[in-house]
Amino acid sequence: MRHFLVYTVAVLPEGDHPELEALRRGEVERAHELQRDGTVVALWREAGRLASFGIWRGVDAGDVRAQISSLPLHRYMTVTITELHRHPNSLDPFPFGEA
């Protein structure tokens, strides 16, 4: 498995959209599932925005993108996926397993 830095920015529609609350609840549930199964190994929120950084595992970027598409709010997200490799000058071992 490879590791990817995933940056997402969500722009939700303005106004009253009752279905958004259900999507948000589903988002929490799915994010927890992805963490429990090891697909998402670390997750951070960008302060002051509906944006996050995460370390995701997958076979390739397409696999990661498919997992992201399982998030209920994915249609409102702009997503950047960057494959990660341990830097050869790093003194620390790669913290998320082999890379």
Residue 98 has pLDDT above 80, yes or no: no
Which stretches of 9-97 are DSSP H helices?
18-36, 61-68
- What mean pLDDT is predicted for residues 30-36? 98
Identify the domain containing residue 19 by its residue range. 2-84
Domain contains 95? no
Which phi and psi angles does 18 have, rounded to 5°? Answer: -55, -30
Domain contains 13? yes
Domain contains 94? no
Unique residue bearing structure tokens 């990660």: 84
Residue 65 has pLDDT above 60, yes or no: yes
| Confidence (pTM) | 0.90
Residue 94 has pLDDT above 70, yes or no: no
CATH number of the domain where residue 6 is located: 3.30.70.1060
Is the Cβ–Cβ distance between 59 and 2 less than 8 Å?
Answer: yes
Confidence of residue 99 (pLDDT cuts 50, 70, 90): low
In whole angstroms, give the CA distance from residue 76 to residue 13: 8
